[in-house]
Each structure stands twice: as C-alpha cells, then as structure tokens.
Amino acid sequence: MKPLILVTNDDGITSKGISVLIEVVKTLGDVFVVAPDSPNSGMGHAITVDSTIHIKKSKIFKDIEAYECSGTPADCVKLAKHHFLRGRKIDLVVSGINHGMNASVSVLYSGTMSAAVEASIEGIPAIGFSLNDFRYDADFRHVKRYLKRIVEKSLKNGVPPHIALNVNFPAKSDKPIKGIKICRQTNGYWREEFDARTDLYGRPYFWMGGDFVNREPESEDTDIWAMENNYVAIVPVQYDRTAYPEIKSLKKWKL
C-alpha cells in the first residue's frame, strides 16, 4: 500500500512551487492536496477563528484530488486531517516549495513552515520546503533529486515525533549543489524599514521593506551559511518554544 502524502503550501494552489513538489512526491505515494486559494506568505501560524472557510474542488493537477481553501496554511492541514482525510492515516505532510527562503528567524513568519509545524502538533511527520529565490518563475529543476531523496528517507526512517524538518534549497546557479547539511537555525533578524506613502485619496499608508541581518555569518553549522555555500540546509524544528535552561533561573526570582 502506498503512503498517503498530504501536500499544501502558502504561495497558493496555482504557484509553480507546489506543482514541482507534487510532480516529485506523486512518484512516492498517493497524493492529496489542500492548499490556499491565494497567496498567504508571512501568515505564520494564523488560523481562521472569526470568519468562514470556503473550500472548492480543484482540477489543476491531473489525476490528483485537490482542494483550494480560503483559509491559512495551518487551516489547510487542520481541514485535511479532521475532515477530508478523517479516519485515514496521513504518512507525511509536505509543504511548499516556497518561493523564497525560510531559514533563520523567517521560520516564525512562514506560512509554509507553519503548515508543517501544524502537522507535527497533530503527530504527523512533516517537511517544509523552500527555495532561496523569490521570483514567481523561479527555476526549481536543480532541487528535484534532493527533494525526492529527503522525502524517501523521511518515509523510510520516519521524522522524529512532533518534529518538522525545515528544508531550504539554494537558488539555481552555474554551480551544482554540493550536498545536504543538517544545521541549526541561524541567529539573525529582519531589520525593517517602513516607507510612508499616500494613496489616491490622500490617505497615508506604509509599505514594509528591509533586509536580513546575520549575527553569526561565519558559523558553518547554520542554515544561512549552508545555503550561501550552495548546500541544501535541513533544520529540525519543534513547536515547544520553552526556554528550559531559564526555568531554573526564573524560579530564583521567588515570585
């Protein structure tokens, strides 16, 4: 019996990245798709609690059952698990391939990774895939064999319980990918800038921009270093954000 693989993303069901992901994983199992009906980049782990969620069957992918959802990436996983695939064992959730990297602190903002983390909360093995190329027509050809290898190994060996794998691919270049590195999350942050503008009606609004600041550019065990040096970066992530070493120090406050 083939493994059941749930596919989702945050760029929307019509994105190039999810088509490439489906092209690869459909050779490894039975694929079921629930993905947002529009881009949800930067949505993080938001869920829909104060509005309705609309679902429509999609015919985008030949011979694959797929649904487009008005909700968030996390909503898509919840709906698949508790409605569409209720009573069935989901062997793996794969999310992506995201147009743009989700390394370092970006994992917190990423809808792609939040879908994978939502699956890990439910006890389902999960992987989020991202490409360090934000272009709509990004070239994904160089990642396919690595993507397939990672999914194959995950199905064979099993992703650790309640862990999601954050996989980031370097952008296509004239040099081949050197290999895969198991890494940790880079210590970095986004330095934002807000451009104040005025719309046609004279109302003020802001457009957010900025750049990424790497606090440890020389650290070779990080995901950013791996990508910058043409490796595929894999970081195991978890939803438990407890800073365990600080529990003891906080108890000394004698609150």
Domains of the chain are: 4-186+218-251 (3.40.1210.10)
Percent of the chain at pLDDT exceeding 90: 96
Looking at residue 14, its pLDDT comes to: 97
Compute CA distances 93 → 52, 123, 194, 226, 250, whole Å. 24, 11, 36, 24, 37
Looking at residue 136, its pLDDT comes to: 87
**What's the mean pLDDT in 92-121?**
97
Measured in residues, the chain has a length of 255
Residue 11 annotated as binding site:
yes
- Asked if 41 contacts 13 with a C-beta cutoff of 8 angstroms, the reply is no
Residue 41 annotated as binding site:
yes
- Asked if 6 contacts 94 with a C-beta cutoff of 8 angstroms, the reply is yes
pLDDT in tens, 53-65: 999 999 999 999 9
pLDDT in tens, 47-101: 999 999 999 999 999 999 999 999 999 999 999 999 999 999 999 999 999 999 9
1 band by pLDDT with thresholds 50, 70 and 90: confident
Rounded to the nearest integer, the mean pLDDT of the chain is 96
Looking at residue 119, its pLDDT comes to: 98
* The pLDDT of residue 235 is above 90: yes
83 burial (CB, 10 Å; 0-12 / 13-18 / 19+) is exposed
Sheet with strand 164-169: strands edge to edge: 55-58, 65-69, 30-36, 4-8, 92-99, 126-131, 164-169, 231-237, 179-182
**What's the mean pLDDT in 153-164?**
97
* The pLDDT of residue 246 is above 90: yes
pLDDT in tens, 186-215: 999 999 999 999 999 999 999 999 899 999
245 band by pLDDT with thresholds 50, 70 and 90: very high
pLDDT in tens, 31-44: 999 999 999 989 89
Residues near 142 by Cβ (< 8 Å), separated by ≥ 6? 169, 172, 176, 177
* The pLDDT of residue 126 is above 90: yes
* The pLDDT of residue 3 is above 90: yes
